[in-house]
Amino acid sequence: PSKTAIGLDMGISKLLTTSNGQYIKPKNSFKANQVKLAKLQRRLSRKVLFSQNWKKQNRKIQKLHSHIANIRHDYLHKITTRISKSHAMIACEDLKVANMSKSASGTVENKGRQVKAKSGLNRSILDQGWGMMVNMLEYKQQWRGGLLIKVNPRYTSQTCSECQHIAKENRQTQSKFECVKCDHKANADINAAKNILSAGHAVLSAEGGCSKGRPLKQKTSDLREKVA
């Protein structure tokens, strides 16, 4: 049985970045089949609605959608199983995926801003399957007597993991982190993952199992005292 703890930072270009410096690439099954899916949908639009040819073409589209979902599901199962088997405690951000992937189109009177860019970001978020991945980690940790802690994602990317100084200037670029106070330099995603792990330990040690402003964690197991 494992006795280690790990923090996970979820992202677009890298599905997961761990607090011990490892990266896991995304599968992007929808993106890989997007051109093929668009071609099938164009052919469907030229068919007579609800005709036999339309139904036949529609079945092809549904089959491809199932194929895309199965690839994503299988990939996330393999990743979450490996992580769950390796660590007694896993800390991740409590992300509201439904809110993050909302449309930016706005209304007729008030048009949304950067609609095309937001649409692409939404597709990427949903293609990653963040919500599904966290759910898998949660029940697999319960099966194995481990622990999954969801922490408040606020400031995890702007906080220095060394001196805990918070400033938006710390995040130089998407990948570069440099603390303006202590000059600590690190990869931004690894730094965030370390902050997530620290926040997980804080939630775990808080009396009653949760701290103010943070989501409730699941019940601890007998492994709680052994977590490193």
Confidence of residue 55 (pLDDT cuts 50, 70, 90): very high
Confidence of residue 224 (pLDDT cuts 50, 70, 90): very low
- 18's CB contacts (< 8 A; 6+ apart) are 6, 7, 8, 9, 24, 190, 193
112-164 pLDDT, tens digit each:
565 665 566 778 888 889 999 999 999 999 999 999 999 999 999 999 999 99
pTM of the full predicted structure? 0.80
Look over the chain and give the mean of its residue pLDDT values, rounded to a whole number: 85
Task: Give the closest residue to 33 by CA, choosing from 22, 41, 21.
Answer: 41
State yes or no: pLDDT of 5 exceeds 90: yes
- Is the pLDDT at 221 greater than 80, yes or no? no
What mean pLDDT do residues 82-105 have?
A: 81
In whole angstroms, give the CA distance from residue 99 to residue 178.
Answer: 29
**Tens of pLDDT along 18-32?**
999 999 999 999 999
Residue holding tokens 């790990």?
Answer: 6
Residues annotated catalytic, as ranges: 9, 93, 189
Written as six digits, the tokens of 163 are 């001196």
- Domain extent at residue 182: 5-226
> How many residues does the structure list for the chain?
228
Q: What is the band of 212 on the pLDDT scale with cuts at 50, 70, 90?
A: very low
Predicted local confidence at residue 3, as pLDDT: 87
Q: Could you count the other beta carbons within 10 Å of the beta carbon of residue 199?
A: 24
Domain count of the chain?
1
Judge residue 45's burial from the number of C-beta atoms within 10 Å of its C-beta, 0-12 exposed, 13-18 middle, 19 or more buried.
Answer: exposed
pLDDT of residue 176: 92
Return d(Cα 217, Cα 91) in angstroms, integer. Answer: 10
